[in-house]
C-alpha cells in the first residue's frame, strides 16, 4: 500500500470517529413559540460537551443568542437548528430570543 493511501485511510478513520462522538453528545430540546422558550431553564452537566436542538414552533423567525456563551443562531419559522456547546463551568448562562427579547428569556444551568 502506498503512503498516500495509508494517510487517506487514517484521515477517513479519524473523521468517522469524530462524527460518531459528536452524535453521542447529550441532547436537550428547546422549543420557541409565541416569543417564549420552553423549557425556560435547561440543566446540563458541568464539564461535559452538549447539544441543544432549538425548534421554532412559531410563525416568525427567532434569533437564539447567548452573549456569555458566544452563540447566535437565526432560525426560520417552522425550522429547527442544533447548537453544540463546549464544556461549561458550573454556573448559570443566560440566553434570549433577540427578536422577542422582553419575553424570550432563558438560562442554561451547569451543575
**What's the mean pLDDT when you consider all of the chain?**
90
Supply the pTM of this predicted model. Answer: 0.77
Q: Where are the beta strands (DSSP E) in the chain?
A: 27-33, 36-38, 41-44, 50-56, 62-66, 71-75, 80-85, 91-97, 105-110
| Distance separating alpha carbons of residues 1 and 102, to the nearest angstrom | 62
Report percent pLDDT > 70 for the chain: 79
- Tell me the pLDDT band of 10, cut-offs 50, 70 and 90: low
Mean per-residue pLDDT, 57-63: 97
**Domain residue spans of the chain:** 26-110
What is the predicted pLDDT for the residue at 8? 60
Cis status of the peptide bond prior to 29, with omega within 30 of 0: no
Q: Residue 28: how many CB atoms within 10 A of its CB?
A: 17
The class that CATH gives domain 26-110 is mainly beta
What is the predicted pLDDT for the residue at 20? 45
- Tell me the pLDDT band of 58, cut-offs 50, 70 and 90: very high
Amino acid at each position: 500500500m502506498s503512503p498516500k493511501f495509508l494517510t487517506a485511510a487514517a484521515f477517513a478513520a479519524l473523521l468517522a470517529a469524530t462524527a460518531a462522538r459528536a452524535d453521542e453528545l447529550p441532547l436537550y430540546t428547546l422549543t420557541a413559540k409565541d416569543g417564549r422558550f420552553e423549557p425556560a431553564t435547561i440543566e446540563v452537566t458541568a464539564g461535559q460537551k452538549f447539544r441543544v436542538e432549538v425548534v421554532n414552533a412559531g410563525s416568525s423567525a427567532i434569533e437564539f443568542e447567548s452573549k456569555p456563551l458566544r452563540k447566535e443562531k437565526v432560525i426560520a419559522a417552522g425550522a429547527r437548528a442544533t447548537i453544540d456547546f463546549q464544556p461549561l463551568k458550573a454556573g448559570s448562562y443566560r440566553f434570549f430570543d433577540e427578536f422577542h427579547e422582553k419575553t424570550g428569556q432563558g438560562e442554561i444551568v451547569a451543575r
